[in-house]
């Protein structure tokens, strides 16, 4: 599938029916995953907080993991070393394990598996991986999914504005700086990773209000100030945060391009922001003459790690 078609499939992916039962007695949830799969847990954890949700992006499961833990491992390929090791660790600690994957070793390892369609780049399968969580934990119903579908479709039909932002970044060879706000802090990080993998451009992300307690000093005092392209998410919901953004600009002399999330539900806004970043990074890749699908070095690294020592 062409990379652009992968992007265009996101709206259908969020309708994927991968609902699963939350085991009775679950007191905490851990979501493990790396890269394009790992971002799904981070995004989910900002929308759901009825019981504690922890994120794992490494080899080990946390020490608190036990019988009352639902340990969800997300790996598109099902073969990511860190994720597999952490599931083995979680099982040894007594957790109930669930995998969201298109196959691989993980599909056979977990107590239960939600099998999602194959054939995409992992980072393009965000909808397939998020939908089972969103529906099973009740953070998105038909209404929110329909709203998100409509907004994603609009972006698929017209992404000239996103191409324009990509052009601005490209024309100055700028380093993208993405500032998120709750509940889209993980989406800011998603953009950073999409700039890396799709456009092959190193980017930086942080979030309001935390960045006001550190970045504010470097926004004012860093060297090569002109080399960055500053963006901040807004959604019109939190006047305190909006005020902060304005004050930050005044105090540091930095102009932050607002990325105003579209939609009414948090889920739809989140998906719109995700897709906005997909298109900006896709267009930047094209402008740079880079293949957005190419992750050859990541694949080579996995191969080398997989060699017996
Ligand atoms: O986007 C990518 O290709 C990577 O970030 C992968 O998602 C990452 O290497 C983990 O692989 P997987 O998603 O198959 O677990």
Atom of ligand 1 nearest to the CA of 124: 1
Give the alpha-carbon dihedral of 125, 130, 135, 139, to 10 degrees. Answer: -140
Task: Give the atom of ligand 1 at the shortest distance from the alpha carbon of 104.
Answer: 14
Is the pLDDT confidence value at 27 over 80? yes
Q: Mark whether 283 is an active-site residue.
A: no
Sign of the alpha-carbon dihedral angle for 92, 93, 96, 100: negative
Residue nearest to atom 14 of ligand 1 (CA): 77
Greatest CA separation for the chain: 56
Q: How far apart are CA 96 and CA 25, in angstroms?
A: 11
Q: Which domains, from first to last, does the chain contain? A: 3-139 (3.40.50.10490), 144-288 (3.40.50.10490)
CA distance 305 to 93: 25
Confidence check: pLDDT of 309 > 80? no
Cβ(41) – ligand 1 distance below 6 Å: no
Residue 175 phi/psi, 5-degree rounding, is -90, 120
Catalytic residue list contains 275: no
- Averaged pLDDT for residues 215-225: 94
**Residue 225: pLDDT band with limits 50, 70, 90:** confident
Mutate to test the pocket of ligand 1, among 58, 123, 195 (most ligand atoms within 8 A of CB): 123
**230 closest CA partner among 279, 194, 188:** 188
At residue 36, does pLDDT exceed 80? yes
Tell whether ligand 1 has an atom less than 6 A from the beta carbon of residue 121: yes
Quick one: which of 174, 152, 156 has its CA closest to 165?
Answer: 174
The pLDDT, as a whole number, for residue 1 is 87
Q: Is the model's pLDDT at 308 over the cut of 80?
A: no
The verdict on the CB of residue 90 being under 6 Å from ligand 1 is no
Could you read off the pLDDT of 159-217 as tens digits, one per residue? 999 999 999 999 999 999 999 999 999 999 999 999 999 999 999 999 999 999 999 99
Q: Is 113 in the pocket of ligand 1 (CB under 6 A)?
A: no
Listed residue (32, 204, 20, 49) closest to 115, CA to CA: 20
Of 130, 257, 115, 281, residue with least CA distance to 197: 281
- Average of per-residue pLDDT across 134-157: 98
Encode pLDDT of 78-126 as tens digits: 999 999 999 999 999 999 999 999 999 999 999 999 999 999 999 999 9
> Which atom of ligand 1 is least distant from the CA of 37?
13
Active-site residue, 105 included: no
- Catalytic one of 197, 262, 276, 283: 197
Residue with CA nearest ligand 1 atom 7: 36
* 77 CB near ligand 1 (under 6 Å): yes
* Residue 34 Cβ contacting ligand 1 at under 6 Å: yes
């Amino acid at each position: 599938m062409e990379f652009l078609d992968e992007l265009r499939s996101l709206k259908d992916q969020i309708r994927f029916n991968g609902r699963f039962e939350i085991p009775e007695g679950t007191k905490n949830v851990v979501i493990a995953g790396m890269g394009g799969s790992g971002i799904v847990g981070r995004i989910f954890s900002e929308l759901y907080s009825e019981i504690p949700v922890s994120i794992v992006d490494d080899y080990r499961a946390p020490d608190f993991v036990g019988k009352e833990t639902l340990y969800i491992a997300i790996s598109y390929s099902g073969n990511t070393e860190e994720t597999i090791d952490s599931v083995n660790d979680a099982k040894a600690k007594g957790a109930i394990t669930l995998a969201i994957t298109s196959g691989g070793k993980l599909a056979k390892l977990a107590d239960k598996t939600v099998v999602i369609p194959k054939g995409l780049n992992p980072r393009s399968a965000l909808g397939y991986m998020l939908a089972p969580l969103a529906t099973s934990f009740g953070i998105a119903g038909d209404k929110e999914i329909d709203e998100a579908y409509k907004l994603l479709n609009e972006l698929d039909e017209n992404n000239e504005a996103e191409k324009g932002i990509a052009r601005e970044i490209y024309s100055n060879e700028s380093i993208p700086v993405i500032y998120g706000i709750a509940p889209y802090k993980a989406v800011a990080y998603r953009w950073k990773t999409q700039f890396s993998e799709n456009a092959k451009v190193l980017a930086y992300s942080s979030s309001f209000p935390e960045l006001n307690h550190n970045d504010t000093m470097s926004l004012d005092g860093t060297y090569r100030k002109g080399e960055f392209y500053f963006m901040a998410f807004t959604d019109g919901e939190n006047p305190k945060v909006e005020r902060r953004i304005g004050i930050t600009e005044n105090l540091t002399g930095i102009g932050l391009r607002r990325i105003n999330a579209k939609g009414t539900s948090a889920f739809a806004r989140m998906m719109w922001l995700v897709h906005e970043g997909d298109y900006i990074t896709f267009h930047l890749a094209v402008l740079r003459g880079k293949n957005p699908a190419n992750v050859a070095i990541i694949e080579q690294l996995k191969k080398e790690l997989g060699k017996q020592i």
